[in-house]
Structures are given as structure tokens and as C-alpha cells.
Chain A
Amino acid sequence: MKIGILTSGGDCAGLNPVIRAIGLYLYNNVKNVELVGIPEGYAGLIRGESFPLTCDDLKGLLTLGGTILRTRRTPFKRMTVMEEGGTRLSKMIANYKKMGLDCLFTLGGAGTHKTAALLSMEGCNVIGVPKTIDNDIFGTDVTFGFRTAVEVVTEAFDRIETTTRSHSRIMLVEVMGNKAGWLTLHSGIAAGAHMILIPEIPFNLNAVCSFVDARIAAGETYTMIAVAEGATLDTEAKLKREERTFARSALGESTITRHLAEVIGEHTGQETRHSVLGYLQRGGTPCAFDRLLCTQLGSYAARLAVEGKFGVTAAVLGNKITFNALADVAGKYKFVDPKGEEVAIARGIGISFGDRV
């Protein structure tokens, strides 16, 4: 049995522990198994590259951040475009066969799962494992990498808060999450943010300023605001994503955070700063929760391969490790429900989402 593993899309903590768990399960339970790593995600498969992953290669991976396989973003929309030598999809299928793979594990986010579904539809035996700090993969309660990112963002928030409080500032902290606001919501609540702005709840400038005014009027000396990369003004919300991106790029910005900080600063007269956490959120060693989750997901996914259950992705549903059919989840996202319990809980303790004056 020859098994391939690739990691695709943006990296996050937990990729290596999943590789380790898959490898350990296979080496412990399958005779004559051959495990290969495919470098740089689908790009490596398109080029037809692979290298052996031995038991020794798996040592020390549990706590190691990043991915030993290296990763790269390979846009889904380019997969079926005709290029020299055929489409990227056809090259991947040809290389899958050429390598003699019996199964391919794809560790990645929503885009990776879409391409995995494509491969599966063309007859490759594919099993996905849901990775993303955004936690926006449909059909699973949690993705690996998310909890570590929440820890990292929360700690960064804690550190920024002490300096913000000391200087009596208003601070906007930009958190990753273009489409979904899970990371901003969870870390914002965990860090005690006063306001959380996420893509799912478009905010109103007046509401944001009024909330800060009210805090100042109440004698509060500082305000912490968690802003998701994809947070949008209510006036922008009607625009298509491309139109919004175009309008922002005309101003030399890709997110709203800096502009919002300026507006709040001018409105309140209080010193206002913003901080973009950036790649801090992806790097580093996985937290204990993610180490456990990665081991569970990796081991379970490997078991699915041994059982011959392909065209699926591992998932967590109601504290159980299970699987979803790729066809049922590919191309779908899981968003924060603006009327859901988590938002209600946050509102209940006075956290503003910038949508109500």
C-alpha cells in the first residue's frame, strides 16, 4: 500500500502532528506500507515530486510548527484551465497514477478540500483532514490549528492590552479571517475585547463611535477592539467582494482597520492605534488541544484509508471524530451565525459588534 500526504494552503500549527499521526497509524497497523510526502502541496503533485517519509522522519513532529512537507497556495480556479501539457488537474491525476498511490491525504482548508473533491471525482482515492486557523470548514465543529491560533491571538491581545491601558488609548487589533470571524470572535471574547468586528456582522461607523463615546463618558480610559481582516462597513456589505477589494486597493489598503482607527481617533480625540498581528497567528508549536486533535484526526483518517473509505474528510461533530463526504462539504463554508449563541453570549456581557447604536 502506497500512501501520499500533502499539505496545501496557508500553514498553521498542527500540520506536522497530523502527518505524524497518519504515519504512525499506518506503520503500526499496515504491513509493507510505503509513505511518501509530496512537497509544496498540490504544486508538488502537479510536478510529480515526492520523497519517502520513514518512521524516523516522524520523530519530533508532535510539537513542531509549520509543515515538513512545505506548503503552497494553488488556486482552485486554475485547476481545470488548459495549459501546456494539459490542465493541472489532469497532471495531478497522471502523477497520482504514475506514483502508484493507493491513497492521498490532503491536509488543508476549504480550497484544499475543493481540489481534493475534484481529484476524488476523477477517481483518485483522497482523504482530507480539515486544517485552518479560520475554523470555517463546513461540516466540522473545529479544525486543527484554530485553537492554537486562538491561544496566540489571545496572548497577543493580553500583551497589547497592558500597553493600551497604560497609555489610555483606543487599540484596534487586526486578526486573520477574511470570510469568517471565528478566530476574532473566540480570541476577542477570551481576551476581553470591548468590541468585536467580524465579516458576518457588518458594522456601522456611528455605532462604533457611539460605543467608544459611551465608554469614555463612563470613565473608561481605554478600549480594545478586535477587528477581523474581513470586517466590513454596513455600506460596503452590499458590494461584491471584488468590488470591495477594488475600492480598498484604490486607497492603498486591503483591510478596514487603519482607516477605522483614523476615524475613531478623529471622532473621539483619544489616541488611537492599530496593530496587525499577521503571521504570528500561523506560526509556532501547537497547543495541547491541537496536539490531541491532530493525533485523533490523523489516526482516524489513516484508519479510514485502511478501511477503504475514500472521498471523505475527517471531522469533529459533537465531540466525536467522524467523517464527511467531500462531495457534501466541498465549496461550502461555516460562518458565525449573527443570531447564534456565541454572539448572543458576547452581547450579553456588553461586547459590541458595532452594528447597534
Chain B
Amino acid sequence: MKYSVIDVSSSSVSMIVAERGGEVLFKERASLSLVHYLEGEKLSLSGMEKLAVLLEHMKTVAMAEGAERCYVISTAALRHVRNSKEIASFIKKRTGLSVNYIDEPTEAYCDYLANRGYAALDRAVLVDLGGKSIEICDLSKTEKGEMFGFEFGLIDLTHKFVSNIYPSREEGKAMRKFLNKKLDAANVPCEGAFATAVLVGATANAIYDIYADFAKVSGAEQKVMEYARFKKLAKRLLEGADRSRLILKNAPEKVYVLGAALTALKAVFKRFAVENIIVSDHGVKEGYLCLVREGKEKGRYTLLTSANAEDAASAVTVAVDAALPVPAPAPKKRGRPKKVQPQQEGAPAEEKAPKKRREVKTQTQRGDHE
């Protein structure tokens, strides 16, 4: 059986289609800057409509890729919107898909599950900078309660400290001070605790894309950033004359949070004195899939291949199939950064190159089951 997991974040809608064993077969991402569709603390009708159109598209692609179960998840991006229930019912009515809102500790745990293979690296810490939340996980810890989660994200930092699009030096300084204060309050370890930072999430990957363009890196087996080059890039993106062109070329949808992300990363890297920076392709979607398949999360899904597809409103909470084997993450085959010795077992599944999208010949069929 193939699964699809669709994640609604504050700046994009992304999807994976994965095999029963956890191997990711297909990925798709579409930009949607939800911040433009907020009316106060609510997502506007036009925002909901845009979201529904994208989710419908993702569902169609998932079907074409042979996915049978489709989970839609959303983390802090929609969790913090005041009309999240209204959004869920609108999406349900328009697309037949049920939205699973994931709380902050679960999000952090999903990140951990998807990236636990990196635990073998030298004192590894996982950092996920989201629009409305930040997760920091010591990869040597395995329990959900041991992850650090913060109920503010890059959008909040931008709103709080940045008067324009990019933070000024003074604004950056204030932001770093605020962050360190929060990290101290949560007892996040300091210098020497971690040597390797594993960055997770769309913003981290966007930063890597810009880094690869900036540093002329191509065809790398693993996404690794050199700290010195990262610092140069951060300076260029915060102060350079062509900063917007670099962002527009590589990750335009991230422009409103990149300044905060770079500032936050600088603070985190300095705090931990990290020596290695790795950007992971695996995040909440892959982790969520692990959770539901391990029976730890009872996510609502839509069955995409049901013969009785007419009643879109009949989706109900699905009991996870407990008989499914616990997925064994595929052995890691990619190259390694210097100074680290990752383990072979338990590493994130290696991705295949996204397959060519197939033509969708039939109308969406669905039937949600309990």
C-alpha cells in the first residue's frame, strides 16, 4: 500500500507519496503564502479557497502516483489561526480531505522520528524553524517529552522584531537576545553540547537551495553547509545588494521569514558552537507517517481508491492498522560530512528522484473509512 501525507505549512503545501516500508517515491510542493490571506487572526475565504484548490491538486497527483491513503496534516501554521475548525470543515466539504492538526510536541517528535538516523552523528541536534513554532531535539534522546518545542516561530519573530522585510543589525541583535533568553528558560544546552546541527523543514531547505546557488554546489549527495560559508551567505542575504534576487530565484515564498531564519540559525549555531551543518530532506510528513504506522497516532485519512466515492462528507477518524509492521527506516546511502560517523541502521530512507507525473485520467474517487 502507498501512503500520501500532505502538509499545510505557513508558506507552502507539500506532499510525499511513500511505500509501505517508508521509502519516499514522490514529492511535490506548491507555494502558498498564507500570511497574505489572513484577516486579523483568521484565514480569509479566499485563503481557504486557495488552500482547497491546492489540496485538490495534491490529492489528484497522489492518486496518479498510486497512493491509497491520504493524510492531511497541519502544524502551527493553521493551529494558531482562530478559525481552524472552519478551515477544516471547508476543506472537508470542498475536497473530502480531513485535516489533522498536530500539536507542538507531536511535531517535534515527528521531526525526531524522521531523522533519528542522524543520532549516530557526533552530538547531533535537530533544529526545525517553522513559521509559527520552533523545535529543537537532542537526537540522543528518544522520548517525546525530551524534545524542546517553542510556541513561536519565524513569522512571530518577524512581526515582533522586524520593521521591514529584512532585519536590520539592531533588530537582529534584539532577536538573538530574545531567542537566547527563551532557550535559557527552557534549559536548552549551551556551548559544547552539540557538534552537528541537522536542519529540518521547508525554510531550512530553502536556505540550502540559496546556499547551493551561492556556493556553486551542485549534485551533492548530502546537503551539507560549511559554517564559514553559511555566515557569508547570511551576511549577503541580510545586507547584500542582490539579496532579493537570490531569494527570488531560489525561494521567493520564504522572503518574509528568511531574515528571521538566518538570524535564529546564527544564534543557535553560536550557542551550540556547531561544527557541522546538515540539511535533512525528511521532516514532519515522514515522521507522521512513522507515527501512524507505528500506531502512535490515530490520524484521519481519506481512502483514495475506494469504489464508493460519492460521499465526501463521510470521513471519520480512522483507527490505524495495528497489524502493519513498524517501518524500518532504509539504510542511509548518502555521503557523509566530515568528522561524523553516521550509523547504517535507522537512518532516514534514501529518496528516489521524483518520478514523472502521470496523467490523471479518472475523477477523484474517495471514501473515508473508520
Contacts and interface: CB of A to CB of B under 8 A. Distances in A.
B36 A312 contact: yes
Given A118-B244, A121-B255, A331 B249 contact: yes
A311 B255 CA distance: 11
Interface residues of A, number: 26
Main secondary structure of the interface of B (DSSP, over half): helix
B36 A311 contact: yes
A339 B359 CA distance: 7
Given A325-B33, A327-B255, A328-B31, A80 B165 contact: no
B253 interface: yes
Contact of B165 (A123, A317, A323, A328): A123
A80 B248 CA distance: 12
A211 to B, nearest CB: 23
B188 to A, nearest CB: 31
Interface in A309-323: 309, 311-312, 317, 322-323
A254 interface: no
B101 interface: no
A323 B37 CA distance: 9
A327 B256 contact: yes
Contacts of B242: 80, 87
Given A121-B255, A327-B252, A327-B256, A79 B245 contact: yes
B241 interface: yes
A122 interface: yes
Given A118-B248, A328-B253, A89 B36 contact: no
B32 interface: yes
Interface in A331-346: 331, 339
A121 B248 contact: yes
Contact of A327 (B33, B53, B249, B359): B33
Interface in B245-298: 245, 247-249, 252-256
A290 B68 CA distance: 44
B86 to A, nearest CB: 19
B32 A328 contact: yes
B241 A328 contact: no
A90 B165 contact: no
21 contacts: A87-B241, A89-B244, A117-B244, A117-B248, A117-B252, A118-B248, A121-B165, A121-B247, A122-B165, A123-B164, A309-B36, A312-B36, A317-B49, A317-B53, A322-B46, A325-B31, A325-B253, A326-B252, A327-B252, A330-B248, A330-B252
Interface of A: 79-80, 82, 86-87, 89-90, 114, 117-118, 121-123, 309, 311-312, 317, 322-323, 325-328, 330-331, 339
Give 7 closest A-B pairs by Cβ, nearest first.
Answer: A80-B242, A121-B244, A325-B33, A328-B31, A325-B36, A327-B252, A80-B245
